[in-house]
Copies of this chain bind each other. A is one copy, B any other.
């Protein structure tokens, strides 16, 4: 019996959860209709009975992840009235981020969706509730959602890629030397960071600390606008 449970019938839900598992284990690139069918013990064409097409699978992926986020943040229940709004929003967003860390492929799926899953809207509705409790006007809350952008869901678009940086000090030194000619400020900045923290590798940054820095910058700015906007 090589096939795992060939009896249990196919379901949209079973297809989507298999897709999440596939993406978690093998990466998003391996989520093809054919391989997804294989993972679920069926032929590629059988999927189309439960799912409109591949776009629908990707939409479903965001719904599953957003539901996981909502299940997590709904348990928080922090006080949000008045000045507490900031702490409540902060924890909500950092909790969402922890879910996404378990599904590293998820941000790129969220980014490519052209339609917003109701489950994501529900997440936003919860965020809005916290801001309203903090005294935000709807207008300010609206601006806030835009200002947070993908950060509201717990991820940011980093344009340096840390993972491609060099690893040995020799490589680091060589790169800094090359940089110094054409990119003096970048070279100086990296040299300075290496100096301050010799254990840091060039190009590597503490993602969590950077995420929180940017998040707090925005939240503090919004806090200052609460009464006047």
- Which residues from chain A sit less than 8 Å from chain B, CB to CB? 108, 110-116, 118, 120-122, 124-125, 128-129, 132, 138-139, 141-143, 145-150, 152-153, 156-161, 163-164, 179, 182-186, 188-189, 192-193, 196, 205, 210, 213-214, 217-218, 220-222
B138 near A193: Cβ-Cβ < 8 Å: yes
Q: How many copies does the complex hold?
A: 2
Closest-CB distance, A131 to chain B (whole angstroms): 8
A164 near B213: Cβ-Cβ < 8 Å: no
Chain A contact residues: helix, strand, loop or mixed? helix
- Besides A125-B182, A129-B185, A146-B214, 12 other A-B contacts (C-beta < 8 A): A122-B182, A125-B183, A125-B186, A128-B185, A141-B189, A146-B158, A146-B205, A146-B213, A147-B213, A147-B217, A149-B157, A152-B159
Chain B residues, CB < 8 A from A110: 159
Q: In whole angstroms, how far apart are the Cα atoms of A111 and B112 in the complex? A: 10
A222 near B214: Cβ-Cβ < 8 Å: no
Chain B residues, CB < 8 A from A139: 192-193, 196
Chain B residues, CB < 8 A from A132: 185
Chain B residues, CB < 8 A from A213: 143, 146-147
A114 near B160: Cβ-Cβ < 8 Å: no
Q: In whole angstroms, how far apart are the Cα atoms of A44 and B228 in the complex? A: 59
Known contacts A183-B122, A196-B139, A217-B217: A116-B157 contact under CB 8 Å: no
Chain B residues, CB < 8 A from A153: 159
A115 near B161: Cβ-Cβ < 8 Å: yes
Contact of A128 among B113, B142, B186 (CB under 8 A): B186
B217 near A183: Cβ-Cβ < 8 Å: no
Chain B residues, CB < 8 A from A192: 138-139
Determine the residue in chain B with the shortest Cβ distance to A218. B217
